[in-house]
Structure 1
């Protein structure tokens, strides 16, 4: 089914696999792809999405006797009544059932369901999985993107009480008020917020009736800090003297230790506590998939999970607040994201995106500004350039935010965080405003504009995309100003620039290109791997790029080359810009001089199994290996998603954990893992990539 045949232009695309018999599914929003192989070529016909018991964006009908998945994946088995009846890990051995209604592949890059309605067998073979239908049958495959679009826009004035009314309406996108809204796909993207002359809201945006109120002082910082909590509870946000959470049966103070700092910490604490307990009881519903954290916490609770599940959201909140924090806090997973949001009128448009990510919010006070130091004079010859801040045109002060324990940390406001992630309201808006690509090929353009750096041009070989991803990686040398201007106007997913940036702009073969003079910027993401490239990079984001990586100071050639290569490996493996840069930064002393500007959650592609593991390996005395897994989650898997390892005998699922393990593997099994996909490996303090090594290299 081609792009033009879809009623929803953002829906996943089904197409015949050009490389082998079968089907390829492509998500134009998140750039994820998934492949089923079939014994012979199949004909795809558009199908009714109502065939499935869950919301589906697009579906096809086909006839086959077998579906093969080229990598090992798990399955949820659904009954015809829409409930999960079994979990299948093919590594546990062959599995068979006399009647299966639906199969769900929970780790695929998009939501993916197969309607079979027949007996079937699932077998692991040669690192992949066979789904055997016994004979040729008509089946249906349905899909929807993990990403949702906002249903409308709320207009607010600069009156803070208008902002309170808008935040009260963010919960209108919740797809359920049951504890299952702790699953990312059941929350829905909140409506957008923009500034205007008067308050207005479309008629289809209506706050859910949750009987929960947030009473807050009518100050912008209080409202911003409580945004995610208000959204998740569908709370009505109203002005009052002292901050508190109210239900029909109780009032809970949010003062904490007093003052705004006490409130900010208490909101974060309450939010994580309530959310975690929703995750504990949600498997009482349709998704009967308990998490390891429930096993640990349930014996400590004074309520019955099954009974509480049937009660209203407000009653659940009351019960949760009776549970002491010291019961839940030892078991809380590391939170996904903390956003430092300067509480200005201009930043109000960021609130829906912050809520969508369930980010914890801090509203910073004036922060110490720091100036990144230039390289020492004696190593100037080894740098891409040496400039003073005035020579580079730099005027944006660096800031040092307070550390956070979250996995990711974003700054939204004036200044740029050293070694951190700088987001803007406009870059967030491009998540939903950009047109979905009609092509399913990932385009990477490398530009090397310095003959002395042609060795770094070999970075082309580092873009090792999955075999199921279509991609083009081109390299050009010594571009002129007009040639580089044309590149920025082209439909390119990622531009990797190698060369120099001076006070006037990006150096080219015949002069300098100042990004402020660009009329069109269609490049989606970029790396300007040159000294002090922040100002030119920030302009690219202002003009249309969704995300970029830039430098704050002078950088030496060898570390810069290493950063460029590591970014290429990470992005090609499916990591977000945040995650890819964090790995690269940890490998060089000058890594903190690189910063992500814009929407760092963007990925160039999606891993086949959606979540990319990083393995930390130690050698055992018996010749085997102990493995710990650090999962890197895609942006669609915000708080509440689950992760499990095929090495868990009982298929234990963990809430979005920072670490999972320890697992003991023999060398032969670990080599099979290395061959399955490209992933970062840490062994004896050194970084490797799985497709470059075998266990013999670890001895």
Structure 2
């Protein structure tokens, strides 16, 4: 079983550990409890684990929305403060690290504080608690020849994972993971993968460069993809052209249709006050749209000019470049499942290292876009709260070869200086410079080492689906510092584990030799933070070098930061041999900015950020962040944030007076695109869908202080990165 439920030792209640998603939380009771197994059928919605306890109250350490249904599943009410008479009830809690349900027979009342939600039963008795992991697995694998027309039949089945064709499929928990695709001589579909007749057809020329960009549309619309000369989308009696500007048009259709589904779904099972519905100025019959079949509803969406809704659309999270090559077909279900905007560049621009604009000296990226819930169970009110760059010193930017003896005043670089003429990365690495994106995150699928993008790999994405049982219920972090001069960054151990309700095992080790380093890499560690030297001989150890590209190593580390010079190939080898993903460098990095970046990444990973978003935030603070990229699965996290999503706050205005707060909420892990979010500020009383940028004006200092006390998150004040736990409010 992927979920463990154990009694708490120091107080009354239980601890819940989801080993798939690396999440852990506590549920408190008014007396000691001994959880005993109960049938999963006790609950209206499906669950992975069910137990029963005897109690008179249940308390959750977060502000949540409590949704109450009758014994037959009829939705009765939802909110954070109400009472219900005697009866048989199914109760859902949002947000929570897993889906969380209670079933009992009693009248009850719901109350909240600024940190907790409490349910008090009128009559103490048996309460069944149900938990469902937010992890999603494909229904099977489609085997297909890789020619474009055969592949169209496979792409047409991606939408089989949708659990509904209603607008509620904009909730991430109602989309499901698309079936996998693998090359084969004959077309074969598992019995569990059944096509959905949505009435939508996507017509594109039978070429990879046209097929790949529509995979997210095919999945989200459950559309049939067929060959034709004129790229277009067809429904019952309507046609929408995808030319001119094919890739831009497909991105617009995805963003617009998803946005409008989020607005229309408020007419259905989950009527909430949605900010985006209030600000989107359209004279439409939302109730009628909700009742239409998918194809008819989509046709009416696309009758609205994109320019009309564009100002209200949030910045999309992810763009993925998938090279138009048949060897990339296995990545398509993962790309579609993330609802990524997809481009398929036919040509590749080699990175130009002339003129100081190549690897090692890249401009800091502008900040674009990220308390959330991903569950389609009513409004969510997360409990937490929800660019300047460093001055440049040319001595910090050493493109290999420089040593302390050659430049005594220079900030030391994190390479072992194996040769005086070594380049920014091993000679066989081909850098490519993808076209810029308008999204927060950027991934690259294909040959080459992308600058400023996540090098996504199939091995890493498959590991996302692995649901093997692990032994420990605590999150393990190993900090390895293999250089005396870099001990300052070793203090990052103090930054991991600064979380309530999440248990960390943190170990710091110094000066490991080859054997010890091999053992460390093989250990069952959730996150490895490596500080030291890397060069063309591998990772420097106390006695020699350990080259991960040559060694036959056993890798147990799940995610990592290799904060050393030129660590790309060593990190790529870790992913190839068993890790999910990590952050690596493309060039030599000076010690001082590397130390600062390491500390930023440590705090962000500890706060529940995924690898891609963590690096995105770090780049706002450090120009040297552009010397780093993510390899493998950029969506990897080591724990979940208190509110589920990833929160970044920008403060504007006079701190001695009322502040203006801009809260960015990024999709993160199971709390994906379409989750509902509501920040815990009195002056912000509406829901938003994720991704969101929420502007709250006239926030008093006392309210800002309470807000910062709720959760650990990054705060940019006057363009400088601070943290909510040490930001001083006068």
TM range (shorter): over 0.9
Match of 2:414 in 1: 384
Check if 1:644 corresponds to 2:626.
Answer: no
Moved >6 Å (runs of 4+): none
| Matched ranges for 1:641-680 at <5 A | 641-647=675-681, 651-680=685-714
CA RMSD, aligned part only? 2.1
2:94 is paired with a residue whose SS is: coil
Q: Distance in 2 between matches of 1:301 and 1:126?
A: 38
Match of 1:25 in 2: 16
Check if 1:220 corresponds to 2:208.
Answer: yes
Q: Which runs of 5+ in 2 are unaligned?
A: 354-358, 361-396
Match of 2:266 in 1: 283
Deviations 1:63-89 (A, max 9, x none): 111112223333333344535444424
Are the equivalent residues in 2 in contact too, given 1:446–1:460 (CA < 8 A)? yes
Q: Distance in 1 between matches of 2:158 and 2:467?
A: 22
Are the equivalent residues in 2 in contact too, given 1:34–1:608 (CA < 8 A)? no
Are the equivalent residues in 2 in contact too, given 1:391–1:502 (CA < 8 A)? no
Match of 2:150 in 1: 162
Higher deviation after alignment, 372-381 or 149-158: 372-381
Deviations 1:209-238 (A, max 9, x none): 112211111101211110010111111111
Higher deviation after alignment, 451-460 or 662-671: 662-671
Match of 2:84 in 1: 97
Deviations 1:450-499 (A, max 9, x none): 11212221111111342211211101111111110111111111111111
| Matched ranges for 1:215-294 at <5 A | 215-255=203-243, 257=244, 262-294=245-277
2:434 is paired with a residue whose SS is: coil
Q: 1:246 Cα deviation (Å)?
A: 1.7
Q: 1:688 Cα deviation (Å)?
A: 1.7
Match of 1:207 in 2: 195
Structure 1 residues 80 and 43: alpha-carbon distance in aligned structure 2, compared to 1, 3 A threshold = same
Q: TM-score when scaled to structure 2?
A: 0.88
Structure 1 residues 324 and 285: alpha-carbon distance in aligned structure 2, compared to 1, 3 A threshold = same
Deviations 1:232-259 (A, max 9, x none): 111111111221212232232222x2xx
Deviations 1:343-362 (A, max 9, x none): 21121111111111111101
Q: TM-score when scaled to structure 1?
A: 0.92
| Matched ranges for 1:675-686 at <5 A | 675-686=709-720
Match of 1:6 in 2: none
Structure 1 residues 147 and 532: alpha-carbon distance in aligned structure 2, compared to 1, 3 A threshold = same
Q: Which runs of 5+ in 1 are unaligned?
A: 1-8
Match of 1:326 in 2: 307
1:242 is paired with a residue whose SS is: coil
Match of 2:572 in 1: 538
Check if 1:450 corresponds to 2:483.
Answer: yes
| Matched ranges for 1:397-412 at <5 A | 397-412=430-445
Structure 1 residues 79 and 682: alpha-carbon distance in aligned structure 2, compared to 1, 3 A threshold = farther
Residue 611 of structure 1 is aligned with which of 637, 645, 656? 645
Are the equivalent residues in 1 in contact too, given 2:655–2:729 (CA < 8 A)? no
Q: 1:20 Cα deviation (Å)?
A: 2.2
Q: Distance in 1 between matches of 2:19 and 2:655?
A: 48
Higher deviation after alignment, 620-629 or 441-450: 620-629
Residue 150 of structure 1 is aligned with which of 114, 118, 138? 138
Residue 160 of structure 2 is aligned with which of 172, 191, 206? 172
Structure 1 residues 396 and 320: alpha-carbon distance in aligned structure 2, compared to 1, 3 A threshold = same
Q: Distance in 2 between matches of 1:339 and 1:693?
A: 36
Q: Distance in 2 between matches of 1:632 and 1:332?
A: 14
Check if 1:296 corresponds to 2:319.
Answer: no
1:172 is paired with a residue whose SS is: helix
1:582 is paired with a residue whose SS is: helix
Q: 1:648 Cα deviation (Å)?
A: 5.1
Q: 1:148 Cα deviation (Å)?
A: 0.9
Higher deviation after alignment, 217-226 or 394-403: 394-403
Check if 1:502 corresponds to 2:525.
Answer: no
Higher deviation after alignment, 468-477 or 306-315: 306-315
Residue 60 of structure 1 is aligned with which of 44, 48, 51? 51
| Matched ranges for 1:294-373 at <5 A | 294-297=277-280, 300-302=282-284, 304-370=285-351, 371=353, 372-373=359-360
Deviations 1:631-654 (A, max 9, x none): 233122332222112225674111
Are the equivalent residues in 1 in contact too, given 2:156–2:222 (CA < 8 A)? yes
Match of 2:116 in 1: 128
- Which structure exhibits the higher relative contact order, with contacts defined as CA atoms closer than 8 Å and separated by 6 or more residues? 2
Are the equivalent residues in 1 in contact too, given 2:201–2:224 (CA < 8 A)? yes
Are the equivalent residues in 2 in contact too, given 1:333–1:655 (CA < 8 A)? no
Q: Distance in 2 between matches of 1:686 and 1:622?
A: 17
Q: Distance in 2 between matches of 1:555 and 1:348?
A: 35
1:586 is paired with a residue whose SS is: helix
Structure 1 residues 615 and 251: alpha-carbon distance in aligned structure 2, compared to 1, 3 A threshold = closer
Check if 1:375 corresponds to 2:398.
Answer: yes
Residue 480 of structure 1 is aligned with which of 494, 505, 513? 513
1:515 is paired with a residue whose SS is: coil
In the alignment of these two chains, the number of paired residues is 676
Q: Distance in 1 between matches of 2:76 and 2:660?
A: 33
Structure 1 residues 694 and 103: alpha-carbon distance in aligned structure 2, compared to 1, 3 A threshold = farther
Q: Distance in 2 between matches of 1:79 and 1:291?
A: 25
Are the equivalent residues in 1 in contact too, given 2:683–2:699 (CA < 8 A)? no
Q: Distance in 2 between matches of 1:263 and 1:365?
A: 14
Structure 1 residues 389 and 74: alpha-carbon distance in aligned structure 2, compared to 1, 3 A threshold = farther
Structure 1 residues 320 and 591: alpha-carbon distance in aligned structure 2, compared to 1, 3 A threshold = same
Deviations 1:558-578 (A, max 9, x none): 111111111111111111111
Match of 1:515 in 2: 548
Are the equivalent residues in 1 in contact too, given 2:481–2:530 (CA < 8 A)? yes
Q: Distance in 2 between matches of 1:333 and 1:195?
A: 36
1:251 is paired with a residue whose SS is: strand
Are the equivalent residues in 2 in contact too, given 1:610–1:634 (CA < 8 A)? yes
